[in-house]
Amino acid sequence: MSLQKQVMDKMKEAMKAKDTVALTALRALKSAFMLANTEARAGELSEAEELKIIQKQVKQRKDSATVFTEQGRNDLAEPELAEAVILEQFLPEALSEEEIGEIVEKAITNVGAEGMKDMGKVMGIVSKQLAGQADGKTISAIVKAKLA
């Protein structure tokens, strides 16, 4: 079952349960899927593209919550974090830093990376391999640490 279908099913459940927070998050995600479908014009989105959209939506909510918290607006931050949790259920389970580190080391060995000048090559490989399973910032920090 595609992620878009899963989102629609969860949306129906949220409507029946009158869960406004979940409904808001899922409607925004559905809208993002529809926009991407319209832009692609090639029909269905691939699962990797769907995961990217979900990751982007989660990141937007977490970033907004951070800004609201810094401004002392916890009343606005809490709904954003709640929506992020709802959207995260559609992402594959995140890997630990140790697991990411192992994958980064393998990529460094395969590419023959010798320093920071090869960071782009390593990031490209690892990012594709870990799509949806790790945050880009985390991957970048680990790659920098291993190449330094």
Note whether 84 and 98 are within 8 A (CB).
no
Set out the domains of the chain in order of their start, with CATH numbers: 3-89 (1.10.1510.10), 97-147 (1.10.10.410)
3-state percent helix, strand, coil for the chain, nearest multiple of 5: 80, 0, 20
Per-residue pLDDT of 5-34, as tens digits, reads 999 999 999 999 999 999 999 999 999 988
Cβ 11 vs Cβ 26: under 8 Å: yes
Q: Model pTM greater than 0.85?
A: no
143 or 41, which is more confident?
A: 143
Contacts with 92 (C-beta within 8 Å, 6 or more apart), sequence order: 51, 132, 133
30, 11 in Cβ contact below 8 A?
A: yes
Confidence (pLDDT) at 47: 81
Q: Do residues 47 and 59 make contact, with C-beta atoms less than 8 angstroms apart?
A: no
